[in-house]
Amino acid sequence: MELSDYHPWRMANHWALLFVVICGIAANIERQAVWFGFLPDRWMQTILSVGAGAAIFMLTKRYVRAIASYTPTTSLEAKRANEQIKLTANFSNTIAAAWIAVVALAQLIKPEGPNYYIITLAVVIAGFIHGGARNMVGLIKDEAVAGETGTVT
């Protein structure tokens, strides 16, 4: 069975898609309609940063669990799985880098001055995301599978 057909891997992909859709909806709703003015912008930015960062971290952990439990039976399946693992790890690192850039630039261009607490929080969250991506690369599968029997040499 290919990694892309493996149920935990597909579920992780579905959760990632759901996260992107929720972020898109949240970005397109007017601020007052969503928050009703209960929280100041500074606190809402912190809550959203922590929430989105935690969601990305949990998605990374879900991918790691799916990869760790997957066992390829042929050399070709192992090679394809390794390419998907590397692609997912690179994508996670890209998200972490974009996270820092967007949050830092949004804070630095504010007329009232940047909030370095939020920038630092974004860097810490990106560090956790990068750590999860490094963990994924450590789960690369052995490509030296003997024939179609599933025994590793």
> What rounded mean pLDDT belongs to the chain?
76
- Are the CB atoms for 126 and 96 separated by under 8 Å? yes
Structural domain boundaries in the chain: 3-152
Among 12-16, 28-32, 85-89, the range with the most confident prediction by mean pLDDT is: 85-89
State the Cα–Cα distance between residues 137 and 120, nearest whole angstrom. Answer: 26
**pLDDT tens-digit profile of 71-90?**
888 888 888 888 888 888 88
Residue with tokens 């969250």: 125
> pTM for the full model?
0.65
DSSP 48-85: HHHHHHHHHHHHHHHHHHHHHH---SSHHHHHHHHHHH
Q: Please check the confidence at residue 152 and state whether its pLDDT lies above 70.
A: no
Residue with tokens 């799916």: 66
